[in-house]
Amino acid sequence: MTVLSEAVLADPIALTRALCDIPSVSGDEKAICDAVEQALERLGHLTIQREGNTLVARTDLGRDRRVMLAGHLDTVPVNDNFPTRDDGDVMWGLGTSDMKSGTALALWIAATVPDPRFDLSFAFYDCEEIESDRNGLNKLSKSRPEWLAADFAILLEPTYGLVEAGCQGTMRARVTTHGKRAHSARSWKGENAIHKVAPVLERLGAYEARVVDVEGCTYREGLNAVRIGGGVAGNVIPDECWVEVNFRFAPDLDEKAAETHVREVFDGYDVEVTDSAPSCRPGLDRPEAAEFVAAAGGEFAAKLGWTDVARFATLGIPAVNFGPGDPNLAHKQDERVELPRITACAEALRAYVTGAHR
Amino acid sequence: MTVLSEAVLADPIALTRALCDIPSVSGDEKAICDAVEQALERLGHLTIQREGNTLVARTDLGRDRRVMLAGHLDTVPVNDNFPTRDDGDVMWGLGTSDMKSGTALALWIAATVPDPRFDLSFAFYDCEEIESDRNGLNKLSKSRPEWLAADFAILLEPTYGLVEAGCQGTMRARVTTHGKRAHSARSWKGENAIHKVAPVLERLGAYEARVVDVEGCTYREGLNAVRIGGGVAGNVIPDECWVEVNFRFAPDLDEKAAETHVREVFDGYDVEVTDSAPSCRPGLDRPEAAEFVAAAGGEFAAKLGWTDVARFATLGIPAVNFGPGDPNLAHKQDERVELPRITACAEALRAYVTGAHR
In this structure, what CATH number is given to the domain that contains residue B55?
3.40.630.10
Q: Which of B226, B242, B315 shows the shortest CA–CA distance to B278?
A: B315
B-chain CB neighbours of A170 within 8 Å are 184-185, 235
Compare all CA atoms of chain A with the CA of B205 and give the residue at the minimum distance.
A195
| pLDDT single digits (tens) B37-81 | 999 999 999 999 999 999 999 999 999 999 999 999 999 999 999
For residue B194, the model assigns a pLDDT of: 98
Helix (H, G, I), strand (E, B) or coil at A69: strand
CA angle A347, A74, A217 (to 5 degrees): 55
Would the CB atoms of B185 and A248 count as touching at under 8 Å?
yes
Which of B218, B248, B277 delimits the end of a domain?
B277
Which of B277, B298, B317 delimits the end of a domain?
B277
Helix (H, G, I), strand (E, B) or coil at B281: coil
* Pairwise CA distance, residues B101 & B11, whole Å: 11
State the nearest Cα–Cα gap between B129 and chain A, in angstroms: 13
| Residue B356: pLDDT band with limits 50, 70, 90 | confident
State the nearest Cα–Cα gap between A44 and chain B, in angstroms: 42
Q: Give me the phi and psi of A179, to 5 degrees please.
A: -145, -150
Compare all CA atoms of chain B with the CA of A207 and give the residue at the minimum distance.
B195
Would the CB atoms of B225 and A202 count as touching at under 8 Å?
no
A-chain CB neighbours of B220 within 8 Å are 186, 188
**A83 within a domain of the structure (yes/no):** yes
**A215 within a domain of the structure (yes/no):** yes
Task: List Cβ neighbours of B328 (8 Å cut-off, separation of 6 or more).
Answer: none
The yes-or-no answer on residue B288 being catalytic is no
For residue A132, the model assigns a pLDDT of: 82
Specify the number of domains making up chain A. 2
Q: Looking at residue B112, what DSSP letter applies? A: H
- What CATH number does residue A252 fall under? 3.30.70.360
Q: Check: CB of residue B292 under 8 Å from CB of residue B65.
A: no
**B49 within a domain of the structure (yes/no):** yes
| Residue B354: pLDDT band with limits 50, 70, 90 | very high
Check pLDDT > 60 for residue B235: yes
Residues A330 and A304 in one domain: yes
| Residue B246: pLDDT band with limits 50, 70, 90 | very high
Please spell the DSSP secondary structure of A238-268, one letter per residue. Answer: -SEEEEEEEEEE-TTS-HHHHHHHHHHHTTT
State the nearest Cα–Cα gap between B43 and chain A, in angstroms: 40
Q: How far is CA B344 from CA B112, B161, B264, B338, B350, in A?
A: 16, 8, 46, 10, 10
**A1 within a domain of the structure (yes/no):** no
Given the residues A119, A128, A129, A164, select the one marked as catalytic: A128
B-chain CB neighbours of A202 within 8 Å are 198, 202
Q: Check: CB of residue B75 under 8 Å from CB of residue B159.
A: no
| Residue B284: pLDDT band with limits 50, 70, 90 | confident
Residue numbers of the domain that contains A314:
6-167+280-354
Q: Out of B194, B209, B232, name the one closest to residue A201 (CB).
A: B194
Q: Which residue has the higher pLDDT, B183 or B116?
A: B116
* Mean predicted lDDT score pLDDT of chain B: 94
Q: Which residues pair with A163 in a beta bridge?
A: A300
Check pLDDT > 80 for residue B28: yes
Q: Out of A228, A244, A305, name the one closest to residue B234 (CB).
A: A244
Compare all CA atoms of chain A with the CA of B244 and give the residue at the minimum distance.
A234
CA angle A276, A280, A281 (to 5 degrees): 145
Would the CB atoms of B229 and A229 count as touching at under 8 Å?
yes
Where is A336: in which H helix or E strand?
strand A336-338
**Which residues of chain A register pLDDT less than 50?**
1
State the nearest Cα–Cα gap between B131 and chain A, in angstroms: 12
Q: Out of B230, B231, B244, name the one closest to residue A234 (CB).
A: B244
Kindly report the three-state secondary structure assignment for every residue of A102-164: HHHHHHHHHHHCCCCCCEEEEEEECCCCCCHHHCHHHHHHHHCHHHHCCCEEEECCCCCCCEE
Residues A162 and A173 in one domain: no
Q: Out of A185, A228, A304, name the one closest to residue B194 (CB).
A: A228
Peptide bond connecting B99 to the previous residue in cis, omega within 30 degrees of 0: yes
Given the residues B98, B119, B126, B128, select the one marked as catalytic: B128
For residue B23, the model assigns a pLDDT of: 97
| Residue B357: pLDDT band with limits 50, 70, 90 | low
Compare all CA atoms of chain A with the CA of B208 and give the residue at the minimum distance.
A188
Residues B131 and B23 in one domain: yes
| pLDDT single digits (tens) B298-326 | 999 998 888 999 999 889 898 999 999 99
Residues A285 and A335 in one domain: yes
For residue A246, the model assigns a pLDDT of: 97
For residue A161, the model assigns a pLDDT of: 95
Q: Which residues pair with B87 in a beta bridge?
A: B90
Q: What percentage of chain B reaches a pLDDT higher than 70? A: 99
Would the CB atoms of B194 and A229 count as touching at under 8 Å?
no
B-chain CB neighbours of A187 within 8 Å are 209, 222, 224, 248
Length of chain A: 358
* Pairwise CA distance, residues A301 & A182, whole Å: 54
Query: Residue range B265-289: average pLDDT?
Result: 92
Residues A123 and A238 in one domain: no
Q: What percentage of chain A reaches a pLDDT higher than 70? A: 99
Would the CB atoms of B231 and A224 count as touching at under 8 Å?
no
Q: Give me the phi and psi of B213, to 5 degrees please.
A: -95, 125
The yes-or-no answer on residue B128 being catalytic is yes
Q: Write the burial class of residue B263 (CB in 10 Å: 0-12 exposed, 13-18 middle, 19+ buried).
A: middle
**A26 within a domain of the structure (yes/no):** yes
A-chain CB neighbours of B233 within 8 Å are 226
State the nearest Cα–Cα gap between A183 and chain B, in angstroms: 8
**A127 within a domain of the structure (yes/no):** yes
Q: Check: CB of residue A167 under 8 Å from CB of residue A279.
A: yes
Per DSSP, chain A holds a count of helices (H) and strands (E) of 10, 19
Q: Check: CB of residue B18 under 8 Å from CB of residue B5.
A: no
For residue A358, the model assigns a pLDDT of: 54
* Pairwise CA distance, residues B35 & B30, whole Å: 9
**B1 within a domain of the structure (yes/no):** no
Residues A151 and A179 in one domain: no
Residues A38 and A134 in one domain: yes
* Pairwise CA distance, residues A348 & A297, whole Å: 8
Residues B289 and B146 in one domain: yes
| Residue B130: pLDDT band with limits 50, 70, 90 | confident
Residues B29 and B148 in one domain: yes
Which of B243, B277, B311 delimits the end of a domain?
B277
What does pTM read for this prediction? 0.81
Q: Check: CB of residue B35 under 8 Å from CB of residue B3.
A: yes
Would the CB atoms of A231 and B226 count as touching at under 8 Å?
yes
**Burial readout B237-252 (b: 16 or more C-beta within 10 A, e: otherwise):** bbbbbbbbbbbbbbbe
* Pairwise CA distance, residues B46 & B39, whole Å: 11
**B175 within a domain of the structure (yes/no):** yes
Pairing label, strands A152-155, A66-72 = parallel
Where is A12: in which H helix or E strand?
helix A12-20
Q: What percentage of chain B reaches a pLDDT higher than 90? A: 83
B-chain CB neighbours of A310 within 8 Å are none
A-chain CB neighbours of B201 within 8 Å are 194-195, 197-198, 201
Residues A273 and A343 in one domain: no
* Mean predicted lDDT score pLDDT of chain A: 94
For residue A328, the model assigns a pLDDT of: 85
Q: Out of B184, B225, B275, name the one closest to residue A226 (CB).
A: B184
Residues A84 and A70 in one domain: yes
Peptide bond connecting A83 to the previous residue in cis, omega within 30 degrees of 0: yes
Helix (H, G, I), strand (E, B) or coil at B246: strand
Pairing label, strands A54-58, A217-220 = unpaired
* Pairwise CA distance, residues B165 & B163, whole Å: 6
Residues B34 and B126 in one domain: yes
